Amino acid sequence: MAEEPVVAEEVKPEKSGAVGKIGKILLIVVLAIVSSAGGGIVSFIMMKRALNLAPQGKAAEETSKENEQKKIAEKLEKSAVLPLEPFVVNLADPDTARYLRIRISLMVEDKSKSKELLENQAIQLKVRDVILQSLTAKTSQELINTDGKNKLRQEIQEKVGVYFQEAKLVDVVFTEFVIQL
């Protein structure tokens, strides 16, 4: 009988379950540490940039506010004021009678024209008429808050500004504003 050749079988060591689990846990721990360190570094860099930018932003903001205040001051020095007699009007509230007492001054761009404007009764009467029409169309709820007052100021400036040809109307100023509720 012929002998059969003996084939050597390769013996693979068996991995124990404990060693595989430890490897996985170790991998997860290493990834968590690397991730945390990376997040910390990114946070540090972003905070550093934010802190470096903040003083520059504040300085720029303060400079722009100062420039704006200087421009306003220059305009005020060159401007003239046309004070109007106080207005007392019924508001357009449907449920009850409500009254508004308001004192308005018009600021014009050129001081040299102020005397002419003060003496020109036609302009003053037309301005009062336009303002009265605007005021009597409003309700107390429209005018009670700051937004409503600003809208009224803008509306008056747009409607009245067309009557100021030589001396440009710069601003409408409320020096008294009382609503009877």
Q: Is it the case that residue 158 has pLDDT exceeding 80?
A: yes
pLDDT of residue 46: 77
The DSSP element (H or E) to which 83 belongs, if any, is strand 80-83
Candidate from 11-20, 115-124, 129-138 with smallest mean pLDDT: 11-20
Q: What is the pLDDT of residue 80?
A: 85
Residue 1 has pLDDT above 60, yes or no: no
Residue 47 has pLDDT above 60, yes or no: yes
Asked whether residue 13 carries a pLDDT value surpassing 80, the answer given is no
Rounded Cα distance between 171 and 82, Å, is 11
